[in-house]
Structure 1
Amino acid sequence: MEIYIIRHTTPDIEKGICYGQTDLNLKDTFLDEFNAVKKQIPNSKTSYIIKSSPLKRCALLANYLGTPVLFDDRLKELDFGDWEMQRWNHIPEENLNPWMKDFVNVRVPNGESYTDLASRVYNFFEDIINSDNKQNLIIVTHAGPIRALLASVMGLPLEKSFDIKIQYGDVFHLEKIGNSLKLISEIELI
């Protein structure tokens, strides 16, 4: 089974704003970005099952790639709780600093930790690994879930997952072999 994991295209939001599960629109460059994404997915006679985060910035891309789309909350970005839509430089240091020192384990106030996100993403991929489905998959999601998965596949600890360079519209190719995932794409580490 071939799996293509895609990060959504560029959201329409000012730089410096903390967002995770906020439902954002996409920039008006969407169609150009979509065409670049589409070129990275082999066009074959084999159809794809498309799974996606339900957030708009993923759902729009997923629907352009084909239908039907199966939405799964486990593919959502990190829940930044009280910090959603705040400027990073306006989040009080007494709240931000403990998280910055241990973002893997420390939960955002009324949100989640990176370990929480990784757990739900691993659960999603365990379902795929344990499935008898042989049909190829396209998965549209966010940088956080992609980093957590790729770190696991590459044997990197979560705290090193931000060394994985991921841009808007990036496509990562994996293959399910037996009960494991093999990374086919070359990964650039920062």
Structure 2
Amino acid sequence: MTAFALHLLRHGAPETPGLLMGRTDGAPTSAGIAACAARAEGLGIERLIASDLRRSRAAGEVIGEASGVPLVVDPRWRELDFGEWDGQPASAVDPDAFVRFRDDPDVNPPPGGESWAALVARVSAAIRDLAPAPTLIVTHGGAMRAALHALCGFDQRQLWAFDLPYAARLSLRVWPGERSGAQIAGLYA
């Protein structure tokens, strides 16, 4: 099957930066939305998807209006649920627990939160459901890393080597199918 362009765009800066924002539905700044819209210009997309959290959805709505491509909201593209840590600054979390989480988020997920494997499973399911057409997904840093794991096989340690600041776009060429794979076409931060 023919490869298609898949662009993963991290949401813009939230009004309250520096928090572990998984399911926390923080509002984006207007500058963050504008940065996402600028990063999406000229991509020639046919499909537009966003996480249901407003920091992603708001940018998706603006991009949809500008491009004329209807926005589809898909909660599978949400950030990792940080459980009891959600909405807290990392400095408020027990440092040893946070290091254990960063070292192995499957064995040491946030208390009451989501495991890495669960995040990868839902993002992988969302990827399998994509139509093979140029697509932009406005999502979150964790979901972008989960997509890289699913499509390119990077392990957890390698994924932390990717700097994905707010409004960063990761462009991939995806070969769909039962054993889909991808090639990184660019990272724009």
Partner residue of 1:165 out of 158, 163, 173: 163
Structure 1 residues without counterparts, runs of 5 or longer: none
AA at the equivalent of 2:8 = I
CA RMSD in angstroms comes to: 2.3
Question: Residue 42 in 1 paired to residue 43 in 2?
Answer: yes
Per the alignment, in what secondary structure is the counterpart of residue 185 of structure 2? Answer: coil
Q: 1:134 to 1:62 in 2, by over 3 A?
A: same
- CA displacement, residues 45-73 of structure 1 (integer Å, 9 cap, x when unaligned): xx522111000010011111115321111
Instruction: Give the C-alpha shift of residue 25 in structure 1.
Output: 0.9
Q: Within 5 Å, give how 1:16-31 maps onto structure 2.
A: 17-31=19-33
Structure 2 residues without counterparts, runs of 5 or longer: none
Q: Given that residues 120 and 149 in structure 2 are in contact (C-alpha distance below 8 angstroms), is that contact kept between their aligned partners in structure 1?
A: no
Q: 1:109 to 1:28 in 2, by over 3 A?
A: same
Q: Which of the pair has more CA radius of gyration?
A: 1
AA at the equivalent of 2:43 = P
What is the TM-score with the length of structure 1 in the denominator? 0.81
Distance between the aligned counterparts of 1:167 and 1:14, measured in 2? 11
Distance between the aligned counterparts of 2:75 and 2:111, measured in 1? 20
How many residues are matched?
A: 179
Q: Within 5 Å, give how 1:1-190 maps onto structure 2.
A: 1-15=4-18, 17-39=19-41, 41-43=42-44, 48-66=46-64, 67-93=69-95, 95-128=97-130, 133-179=131-177, 180-187=180-187
Distance between the aligned counterparts of 2:90 and 2:184, measured in 1? 35
What is the TM-score with the length of structure 2 in the denominator? 0.82
Distance between the aligned counterparts of 1:171 and 1:97, measured in 2? 27
Q: Given that residues 9 and 36 in structure 2 are in contact (C-alpha distance below 8 angstroms), is that contact kept between their aligned partners in structure 1?
A: no
Distance between the aligned counterparts of 1:157 and 1:36, measured in 2? 31
Q: 1:92 to 1:4 in 2, by over 3 A?
A: closer
* Identity level (%): 24
AA at the equivalent of 1:63 = E
